Amino acid sequence: MVTSVLPRVESLASSGIQSIPKEYIRPQEELTSIGNVFEEEKKEEGPQVPTIDLTEIESEDKEVREKCRQELKKAAMEWGVMHLVNHGISEELMDRVRKVGQKFFELPVEEKEKYANDQSSGNVQGYGSKLANNASGQLEWEDYFFHLIFPEDKRDLSIWPKIPSEYTEVTSEYARQLRGLASKILSALSICLGLEEGRLEKEVGGMEELLLQLKINYYPKCPQPELALGVEAHTDISALTFILHNMVPGLQLFYQGKWVTAKCVPNSIIMHIGDTIEILSNGKFKSILHRGLVNKEKVRISWAVFCEPPKDKIILKPLPETVSETEPPLFPPRTFAQHIEHKLFRKTQDNLSN
């Protein structure tokens, strides 16, 4: 196989090119749905991503707590994505997370290359860009930094950014707090399904085995944003995904047959239900198709934390309590690794028939 070495998207973007290489141009059918993200974000008509206020999620008052859970449940069933507000993680900590990540990406590309991952040898952690995984050679307009942040004993701190020096401390604290938030959400979702409070947490691996992986997505300015995508349409394979961003719009959700642009909600964390919870809940909670647009004017950065079950230890399948005569299992049993395989295979098949 011939592999051509493509530069980092950041280098491409800063080289002054007026038109983007063909590998970044989306297929014709997709181009018709890509608009100007700033115009799209302003649109007020039509369905909008729900905002869930978590203030009362653990209220002493049973009814108050129940009302909060019902709102979460509705959002998880209808959308599978939401803006979480009053989630308990301080604005100050979120700002520090954004600052250390941004500082790392402000380093020269050569400096960042010292952290380059090596996907061909299975080292997925580190600084990287997408490798073309099919015959079309399709690429995305982003570079990223990917690494495991929780549990602490599974981290490899030697590959974490050393500049800025606060990176490790700040990112570790965020990981701990987000892990707590994940537990709260998993408890609430369990109760919504009529399960015991700790059930989903256990089913995705618990404190020891649920892995939190941080992907800092760096989307440079793009000279032809109407032709490219920062991240192509996909559903997340995780149990849950939590996303922070730098208040530049880009995320779109495919809802009722249309692309809906997520607004930028101050101090919120975007949360996705991923495929794992969709499977365990037998499709009651949705893993929504989404993608990322890019733009000419502003660099966009997002911090996505994927909460993932262990690759081989757990068989994912609809929990018996979510299955009945009228609600047969929608997903055959699979490990997380098999689920990833299955998705890659389907994608290859799609490409073959294009």
Site residues (CB under 5 A) for Ni ion?
Answer: 236
Residue 272 CA to residue 6 CA, distance in Å, equals 31
Nearest to Ni ion of 94, 243 (CB atom): 243
Residue 134 CA to residue 246 CA, distance in Å, equals 31
Give every CB contact of residue 91 below 8 A, 6+ residues apart in sequence.
Answer: 267
Which residues are bridge partners to 273 per DSSP? Answer: 240
**Residue 156 annotated as catalytic:** no
Q: Of these partners, ligand OGA, Ni ion, none, which one is at the site of residue 112 (CB under 5 to 8 Å by kind)?
A: none
Rounded least distance, CB 194 to ligand OGA, Å: 30
**Residue 215 annotated as catalytic:** yes
**Which of 293, 337, 289 lies closest to 315 in space, CA to CA?**
337
**Residue 143 annotated as catalytic:** no
**Residue of 215, 245, 272, 284 marked active site:** 215
Nearest to ligand OGA of 68, 255 (CB atom): 255
**93: its two tokens:** 């900590």
DSSP 193: T
Q: Which residues bind ligand OGA (CB under 6 A)?
A: 215, 217, 231, 236, 243, 245, 250-251, 290, 292, 302, 304
Tell me how long the chain is. Answer: 354
Which residues are bridge partners to 259 per DSSP? Answer: 254
Q: Residue of minimal CB distance from Ni ion?
A: 236
**Residue of 73, 143, 236, 286 marked active site:** 236
Nearest to ligand OGA of 191, 237 (CB atom): 237
Give every CB contact of residue 202 below 8 A, 6+ residues apart in sequence.
Answer: none
**72: its two tokens:** 């979460």
**Residue 103 annotated as catalytic:** no
Burial of 54 (0-12, 13-18, 19+ CB in 10 A): buried
Nearest to ligand OGA of 287, 302 (CB atom): 302
Q: Of these partners, Ni ion, ligand OGA, none, which one is at the site of residue 94 (CB under 5 to 8 Å by kind)?
A: none
Q: Of these partners, ligand OGA, Ni ion, none, which one is at the site of residue 199 (CB under 5 to 8 Å by kind)?
A: none
Rounded least distance, CB 305 to Ni ion, Å: 11
Burial of 223 (0-12, 13-18, 19+ CB in 10 A): middle
8 A C-beta contact, residue 216 and residue 144: yes
DSSP 24: G
Q: Of these partners, Ni ion, ligand OGA, none, which one is at the site of residue 69 (CB under 5 to 8 Å by kind)?
A: none
Q: Of these partners, ligand OGA, Ni ion, none, which one is at the site of residue 251 (CB under 5 to 8 Å by kind)?
A: ligand OGA
Nearest to ligand OGA of 59, 254 (CB atom): 254
**Residue of 83, 87, 130, 290 marked active site:** 290
Q: Which residues are catalytic?
A: 215, 234, 236, 290
